[in-house]
Structure 1
């Protein structure tokens, strides 16, 4: 009888010992399978959420880590130069980029869209967003959808023409369409000490409408939405901000801002508008870089940070996950530790159990060797026995361990252990040029799902079978040291 048939007979003949080994591997396999299931699921959540957030980055002052220095520096903080913005844009990680000048225009005759005048203070006006990228980055990134007209030409950008894009709701509110000449009545107001608003002047800015867009990433939420009142209010604010945005060439925005400032100085040179600020004729831009893939964010940050002036940092759209995805990271870390501990425990326990069984089978193994059987065959018999028993145990624990991982992870997500992380920041709001994005812990929790996947199955079987084979080293060394003469005497 060859050693393979002997292995099969040994497994079925010695049912008690086979069941003991099966039970040990099954229990430890469940722990490993559950931990790997949790770890794979948390990694999948991170990948999917970051993919949804996209690979966008901007350069901005790092207020969070340099509060005191920023306060001391005040208006003396060095502004980003166009040459630096363009140099960063040449990075191999960048797909395309834009840099935006921006300002605010308060109007009366030109009506903005307001969802709740009391909720947002009744302020009417428009956010003027400049562009140096003729195709308009927000259109390319599907943050807005062009429903009528066209985007800028390079000539519009270079010459700073008074042409712009408005939202369909603003067009409807004011009875405007593509080709119309829109007059933006920009108001200069000052607030007295008693809080009253006083209009000082009006500047009429003619803008030819070349395109009409609709937002695609934000919408006005129904008040009956199940989300919290605060979240609904934030969503409405983001919606209003996007809807009341007018896209213009950068030079046009800068010219409008310059004319407004000059008029304000003429009419009210002592206005609070100039308090705490020095005359500044420089240009200020917010750069936006679209990376080729969200996976390039860390490499882009590492490459770009040394180029930036003091107090500046790189901020990416995926930072939102880093801010509020702490529970997933914590759970992934815990599951990683459990996998390591379970693998070490499995190695020790299986090695000792099999070694004890080998000692009981010492005479059996001695007979095989004394009859001239090769040690490699005897060792192969033991390995096959272990693989048969462990294979069945691992396949069964693959299924039960997945359910175990699901129950444990749900318990952890609902426990105080992870909720402490969530309480630090329940929601991340983005108004930094990376898009008006609202990401909540609920969004991340809803994206979490423990399920069977090819990656999970392959990873578990590789870890499980690898652990069993490593655990066989000690018993095999015992077989090598066996002396059949001494056993048979």
Structure 2
């Protein structure tokens, strides 16, 4: 009889033991698949967190130009970046806020008319600390984005908008501090700065309500085109890339003479826990595979010892030893494959809830205020893919082979007469 057909007959005749073996394999495959799914979900969530949270590197240098800042931002290891130019400007056709405290005697009154507005030229306002931490919020419209390059736009503060009855879509005329140039800007957003007005007199441009955010090009026009970049912030994927960025910064800006600060607190608080879950899932896969091979090896060894008489008869009839080992391997593999299918179905049904339990809380808690963004990581996405099922099937078949060949070789070293006459 063909040993494959004989394996099927044996499984049918020993239904209870076949069902028990199937249950063991099902648990084993479900745990293996769970480990792979958790590992893949953690990797996807970590990649997303590196893009949204990442590590912010702030570069400052006297005389830092926009062209140099853009060269660093074009590096492949930089996900996004923001450069900032600060200039003063005057208002034409609308009224800036003034301090509610009387101006002290002897203050330089002439300056307040020429530069009542604090204009911040930015490339990406979402990367500014007040916006990324959530302390300053957009109440209407939107912020400044890299796509706004070449357009004269502005995001104004809520108090300035209320005083002048301004709304998104209105046009403001802003005058350079020296009074030589005027620029019309369109209001695309209104923000609310939580800072209260000072209790003592300050110049108008120091009031939080007079702070405007505009694209870099607009700020350069108001600053006569010579305004230097105050600082540039670059978002990279992980702390280990900061050293590479520092080397590139030295190449572009020259060694020394610049300030290079790495803010990785948000990354450590929110990304490292995800990495630990992924490492745990990888370790889990190895432990389950080794434990499964050991347990199934012992079970198969006991089954072979119970079937010593059957083996002896088959050997005495001239059956080859490798076919007997093959029969047991086929029996175990025939049980393993349905277990893989059932585990895949279970993973598709319960995988997302398991991923939420392990990874769902990693990005929900806000980070402390000492330099971490109050932003959550995207929920984990757990999906059963063919590659993961293939890995489980490969490991299951490998365990089947190991758990049958190793015990089988020890028994089949005996002669048929020894097997049949040995009653132990």
**TM above 0.5:** yes
Structure 2 match to 1:358: 304
1:212–1:372 CA distance, 2 compared to 1 (3 A): farther
- Asked whether the 8 Å contact 2:154–2:214 carries over to 1, the reply is yes
Q: Which residue, out of 120, 132, 140, partners 1:129?
A: 120
Deviation at 1:360, TM superposition (A): 1.5
1-side partners of 2:261 and 2:168: how far apart? 43
1:404–1:378 CA distance, 2 compared to 1 (3 A): same
SS in 1 for 2:188: strand
- Asked whether the 8 Å contact 1:3–1:380 carries over to 2, the reply is yes
SS in 2 for 1:312: strand
- Asked whether the 8 Å contact 1:42–1:329 carries over to 2, the reply is yes
Structure 2 match to 1:303: 244
- Asked whether the 8 Å contact 1:58–1:286 carries over to 2, the reply is no
2-side partners of 1:172 and 1:427: how far apart? 36
Structure 1 match to 2:154: 166
Q: Which residue, out of 161, 170, 183, partners 2:175?
A: 183
- Asked whether the 8 Å contact 1:305–1:313 carries over to 2, the reply is no
Structure 2 match to 1:102: 86
2-side partners of 1:212 and 1:130: how far apart? 14
Deviation at 1:59, TM superposition (A): 3.5
- Asked whether the 8 Å contact 1:167–1:213 carries over to 2, the reply is yes
Deviation at 1:248, TM superposition (A): 4.2
Superposition TM-score, scaled by structure 1 size: 0.57
2-side partners of 1:410 and 1:175: how far apart? 40
- Asked whether the 8 Å contact 1:394–1:461 carries over to 2, the reply is yes
Structure 2 match to 1:214: 188
Structure 2 match to 1:343: 289
Confirm or deny that 1:312 pairs with 2:244. no
Q: What stretches of structure 1 of length at least 5 have no aligned partner?
A: 62-77, 118-123, 153-162, 187-202, 222-231, 235-239, 259-282, 431-437
Q: What stretches of structure 2 of length at least 5 have no aligned partner?
A: 101-114, 127-141, 196-207, 251-255
SS in 2 for 1:469: helix
> Cα RMSD (Å) of the superposition?
5.0
Structure 2 match to 1:33: 33
SS in 2 for 1:5: helix
- Asked whether the 8 Å contact 2:91–2:175 carries over to 1, the reply is no
Deviation at 1:358, TM superposition (A): 1.2
2-side partners of 1:324 and 1:361: how far apart? 56
Deviation at 1:94, TM superposition (A): 5.8
Deviation at 1:304, TM superposition (A): 1.9
Superposition TM-score, scaled by structure 2 size: 0.64
Structure 2 match to 1:371: 317
Aligned residues: 364
SS in 2 for 1:439: coil
1:468–1:105 CA distance, 2 compared to 1 (3 A): farther
Confirm or deny that 1:2 pairs with 2:5. no
- Asked whether the 8 Å contact 2:144–2:213 carries over to 1, the reply is no
1-side partners of 2:226 and 2:95: how far apart? 20
1-side partners of 2:40 and 2:370: how far apart? 24
1-side partners of 2:81 and 2:386: how far apart? 37
Structure 1 match to 2:215: 247
- Asked whether the 8 Å contact 1:35–1:405 carries over to 2, the reply is no
SS in 1 for 2:384: coil
Deviation at 1:87, TM superposition (A): 6.3
- Asked whether the 8 Å contact 1:145–1:213 carries over to 2, the reply is no
2-side partners of 1:455 and 1:427: how far apart? 42
SS in 1 for 2:284: helix
Structure 1 match to 2:202: none
